[in-house]
Chains A and B, each alone.
Chain A
Amino acid sequence: MVEELDRWADPPLLVLASLADEPRHGYAIIQDVAQTMGVHLSAGTLYAVISRLEARGLIEPLTRDGRRRPYAITATGAEELAQQSERMRQVARVARARLSTRTGMAGA
């Protein structure tokens, strides 16, 4: 069930969140998302997302580091991430409040 719910995770949002603190290249993004958010991004998904985010100006490529190319979040990308995070925070707040009500009812 948890694995099924993982599919709901929005890969563009995960990549933006991974790049929020510092630029990362593809492999580092995959590792960071897996370690900090518990979601495994496949190579194909990652490059589809990178291409889409770059086209929308939400991330930008930096100068190559050897053969790897790091990406950085842009100002627009940071703004978009902040908006999405706020929306997720509201969803999480509502979900927690309703689950606690449900738990309270079950305990009564």
Chain B
Amino acid sequence: MSDRRNAPDPQPEAPLLARAVVALYPPAWRARYRQEALELLCDLDCGMRAAASMAWRAVPAWLWPPRHLHDRAERMRASLAAALVAWSMLAGLGLVFEQLTQQQPIRPPGHAVIGWSYAVFDGAFVLSGLILAAGGLPLWLLMLRRARRLRSARDTVYLLLPALAPAAFLGGVAILARFISNPDGIGPWWFLAVTMAGFGAAATAAAGPGLALRRLRPRGPAVRLATTACALATATMLLAGVASVIAGAGLSAWARGFAGYHQAAPIGVYLVLVVAAGTVAAVSAGRGARAARR
């Protein structure tokens, strides 16, 4: 990494396409190879073929990052921070699913697949949260002690965000509910606004410990435990996501008269979001788990 400090400035004449394809690579790869890769692309006149080959090879660089570019603890911290945010998005999607299905006053007609999917979703969702909390607690306490020792108010706030952000969100929802006295509940636009605010709160709650990880740079068994727990929690949350998609598809197929489940668009959007968040969570958690195992 010292090369980065000693490296000459990036070529101002490097074409935008060259800089764009190199920007697709992970930060650690860019820190090590950016200069020379840009130089090579310039030597090759940055043709479409060279640019396409560089862009395509960025995928394995993310999936299987070169071992020599990271120290182990740093990779665990980076993967943990990314996986936490993706996990919180999955959890948020799960809560939306819960609200739109099991929490509705009218129960859809029973079907074995829907019933089992609900049960698997509930079990996996709760288990995932418990695993993450239990595995992350020692690391959280370690960082909190370090933040207090350093008298860093900012890091303390970051570490308290997992409690502060959801509390602020729930407080806001409670206040909002007082002003809306509609017996049929809130309308779709209000629901969308509350849902977006919920995702914002979830992302903020997850980003807090991620920022503290970057600033406090903890090492040792607590980081390894939290990374392993995060991988397990991600796996169980993915199981919950799959169960929710099966339940959603089941409702669409077998409960067509209930609410809006006969419409394909909502379940399609839900599926895309689960797959996107699940992919990021699985890749990040997998990278962290591989680093923790070595």
**A-side interface residues toward B, CB under 8 Å?**
25-27, 30, 42-48, 50-52, 54-55, 64, 66-69
On whether the beta carbons of A52 and B66 are closer than 8 Å, the reply is yes
CB-defined contacts of A67 to chain B, threshold 8 Å: 8, 11, 35-36, 38-39
On whether the beta carbons of B8 and A44 are closer than 8 Å, the reply is no
How far does the alpha carbon of A48 sit from the alpha carbon of B66 in the complex, in Å? 9
On whether the beta carbons of A42 and B50 are closer than 8 Å, the reply is yes
- Residues of B6-54 at the interface with A, using a CB-CB cut-off of 8 Å, are 7-8, 11, 29, 33, 35-41, 43-44, 49-50, 52-54
On whether the beta carbons of B55 and A43 are closer than 8 Å, the reply is no
On whether the beta carbons of B11 and A45 are closer than 8 Å, the reply is no
Interface residue B294 (Cβ < 8 Å from any Cβ of A): no
Task: Report the stretch among B56-64, B109-117, B126-134, B245-253 that lies at the interface.
Answer: B56-64
Main secondary structure of the interface of A (DSSP, over half): helix
CB distance from B50 to the nearest CB of A (A): 4
CB-defined contacts of A30 to chain B, threshold 8 Å: 40, 44
Cβ-closest chain B residue relative to A56: B68
On whether the beta carbons of A55 and B67 are closer than 8 Å, the reply is yes
On whether the beta carbons of B44 and A48 are closer than 8 Å, the reply is no
**Which residue of A48, A50, A68 contacts B60 across the interface (Cβ within 8 Å)?**
A48
How far does the alpha carbon of A43 sit from the alpha carbon of B226 in the complex, in Å? 38
On whether the beta carbons of A42 and B29 are closer than 8 Å, the reply is no
CB distance from B42 to the nearest CB of A (A): 9
Given contacts A51-B29, A51-B66, contact A46 B55 (CB under 8 A): no
On whether the beta carbons of B37 and A43 are closer than 8 Å, the reply is yes
On whether the beta carbons of B57 and A48 are closer than 8 Å, the reply is yes
Pick 29 A–B contacts, CB within 8 A, sort by A: A26-B40, A27-B39, A30-B44, A42-B49, A42-B50, A43-B53, A44-B50, A44-B52, A44-B54, A44-B55, A44-B56, A45-B53, A45-B57, A47-B33, A47-B37, A47-B54, A48-B57, A48-B60, A50-B33, A51-B29, A52-B66, A54-B68, A64-B7, A67-B8, A67-B11, A67-B36, A67-B38, A68-B39, A69-B35
